[in-house]
């Protein structure tokens, strides 16, 4: 934070991330409260997630080509208009199809976390060990900030929608998002220079080792998605559905604390080797929620297991993002990191679907097998692809 301009863009970025944890919960509460259908609310939010997965990489390409400020502000304005349109459609009782169309428009929301990481990579782009250590700390902080915002966002959304009115979460989120992106974009001194596209520009997915890293992110996202839906179902089976959010928050809190601690370290091992170690630790720790659910059956014991299980997720994400930064071609850094985030979102959707099927066919306890299996898949992919992403990239 002593780097000139770092504190200013970090403040704007933190404020911009908070709405990311608010919008889905706000939409579910707003739509289900008005239309009386969680199925409709879930379908609308799933549509928005799918649209984001398709649009986000293209938005990131524009950011790389034309600069963060020139693209992020109008892209955010379009997304804010979509959120406000959704609010009005719900409020005025518009047909259901309008909800899908309005929420799909929010897919242009820029990846502010990726843009912030791109700034750190630009500031610490030197070959010296000091720059590498500073970038490691910055990436760890960014991951901890992600966990913190996705911990606080749903809580804030639920409070606003219940204490004020159903549309309050969406309304506050849109105002906060637009204001914070303007603050972030105004910090031009730390903005990475735009790089015009040439015929020789190589897509990140064509760089050796990039696709195996994306596969690791997909499997890690499946861990997150399966943990979320299984924990909600497990708490509901015990008659404590309202406590599911607090229990899940402990998993995010454990990951946040681990991210900060990891950033304070100066790892001696190379990043490619660290990723294997981190994913192996995540695979081992993901067994704890399953063991807690099968052995005790109480929510406090499960909460403690999730707190411990979260300790390996942030180091995995930090190390993976570091490798993504190193392997992404010059001028396409925002696109590379957005592809990683898109892989995580796709994994979350797969994990949620798989967890839901296991819960429906068996029970919530067996649902905790899904994150264990997803973490094991991540480890296998990580080990198999180690030789490709540990070698110098061919750009």
Query: Residue 331: which region, alpha, beta or left (left: phi > 0; alpha: psi -120 to 50)?
Result: left
CA pair distance 336, 217, nearest whole angstrom:
12
Per-residue CA distances from 162 to 30, 45, 167, 240 (Å)? 10, 19, 10, 18
**Amino acid 74: pLDDT:** 92
Task: Read off the pLDDT band of 285 (50, 70, 90).
Answer: very high
Structure tokens at 128: 């010296």
DSSP state at residue 20: G
User: What pLDDT does 200 receive?
Assistant: 56
* pLDDT at position 279 over 70: yes
Name the residue among 199, 38, 51, 64 with its Cα closest to residue 118. Answer: 64
CA distance 266 to 274: 12
Closest CA to 190 of 4, 389, 393: 4
Give the mean model confidence (pLDDT) for residues 86-112: 86
Q: How many CA atoms lie within 13 A of 366 on its CB side?
A: 9
pLDDT more than 90, % of the chain: 10
Please give the domain boundaries of the chain with CATH numbers for all domains: 1-134+151-195 (1.20.1250), 202-390 (1.20.1250.20)
Residue 293 or residue 43, greater confidence: 293
**Alpha-carbon distances of 95 from 37, 46, 89, 99, 125, rounded to whole Å:** 14, 18, 8, 7, 51
Look at phi and psi of residue 264 and say left if phi exceeds 0, alpha if psi is from -120 to 50, else beta: alpha
> In 3D, which of 63, 2, 52 has the Cα closest to residue 24?
52
What predicted TM-score, i.e. pTM, was given to this entire model?
0.76
Whole-number average pLDDT of the chain: 81
Place of tokens 């990951």: 255
Specify the DSSP class assigned to residue 233.
H
pLDDT at 199: 58
Query: What is the separation, in whole angstroms, between the first and last Cα of the chain?
Result: 32
* Res 190 pLDDT > 60: yes
**Averaged pLDDT, 27-37:** 76
pLDDT per residue over 120-150, tens digit each?
887 887 777 777 778 778 877 887 777 777 6
pLDDT of residue 395: 46
Max mean pLDDT among 14-18, 79-83, 298-302 falls in 79-83
CA distances from 285 to 223, 257, 276, 340, 376 (A): 12, 15, 14, 23, 11
Amino acid 372: pLDDT: 93
Position 99 pLDDT exceeds 50: yes
Q: What is the pLDDT of residue 247?
A: 78
Residue 107's closest CA among 45, 53, 161?
A: 53
Choose between 6 and 292: higher pLDDT. 292
Question: Quick one: pLDDT at residue 374?
Answer: 93
Residue 27's Cβ-side half-sphere holds a number of Cα atoms within 13 Å equal to: 29
Q: How far is CA 227 from the centre of its chain?
A: 14
């Amino acid at each position: 934070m002593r780097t000139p301009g770092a504190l200013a863009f970090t403040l704007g970025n933190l404020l911009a991330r908070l709405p990311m944890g608010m919008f889905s919960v706000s939409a579910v509460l707003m739509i289900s409260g008005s239309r009386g259908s969680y199925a409709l609310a879930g379908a609308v939010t799933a549509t928005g997630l799918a649209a984001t997965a398709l649009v986000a990489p293209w938005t990131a390409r524009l950011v790389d080509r034309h600069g963060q400020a020139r693209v992020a502000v109008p892209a955010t304005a379009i997304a804010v208009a979509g959120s406000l349109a959704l609010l009005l459609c719900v409020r005025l009782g518009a047909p259901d199809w309008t909800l899908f169309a309005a929420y799909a428009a929010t897919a242009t929301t820029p990846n502010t976390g990726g843009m912030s990481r791109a700034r750190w990579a630009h500031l610490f782009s030197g070959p010296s060990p000091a720059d590498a250590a500073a970038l490691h700390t910055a990436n760890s902080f960014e991951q901890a900030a992600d966990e913190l915002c996705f911990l606080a966002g749903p809580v804030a959304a639920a409070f606003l929608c219940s204490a004020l009115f159903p549309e309050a979460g969406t309304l506050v989120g849109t105002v906060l998002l637009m204001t914070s992106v303007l603050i972030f974009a105004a910090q031009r001194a730390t903005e990475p220079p735009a790089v015009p596209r040439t015929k020789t520009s190589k897509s990140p997915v064509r760089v050796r080792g990039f696709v195996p890293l994306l596969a690791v992110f997909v499997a890690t996202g499946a861990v997150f998605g399966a943990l979320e839906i299984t924990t909600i179902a497990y708490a509901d089976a015990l008659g404590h559905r309202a406590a599911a959010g607090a229990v899940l928050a402990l998993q995010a809190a454990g990951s946040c604390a681990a991210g900060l601690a990891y950033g304070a370290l100066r790892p001696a091992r190379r990043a490619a080797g660290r990723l294997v170690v981190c994913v192996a630790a995540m695979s081992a720790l993901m067994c704890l929620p399953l063991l807690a659910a099968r052995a005790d059956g109480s929510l406090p014991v499960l909460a403690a297991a999730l707190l411990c299980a979260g300790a390996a997720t942030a180091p995995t994400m930090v190390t993976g993002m570091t490798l993504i930064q190193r392997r992404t071609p010059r001028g396409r850094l925002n696109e590379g990191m957005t592809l990683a985030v898109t892989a995580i979102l796709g994994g979350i959707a797969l994990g949620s679907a798989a967890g839901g099927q296991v819960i429906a066919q068996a029970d919530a306890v067996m649902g905790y097998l899904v994150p264990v299996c997803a973490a094991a898949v991540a480890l296998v992919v990580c080990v198999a692809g180690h030789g490709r992403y540990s070698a110098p990239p061919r750009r």
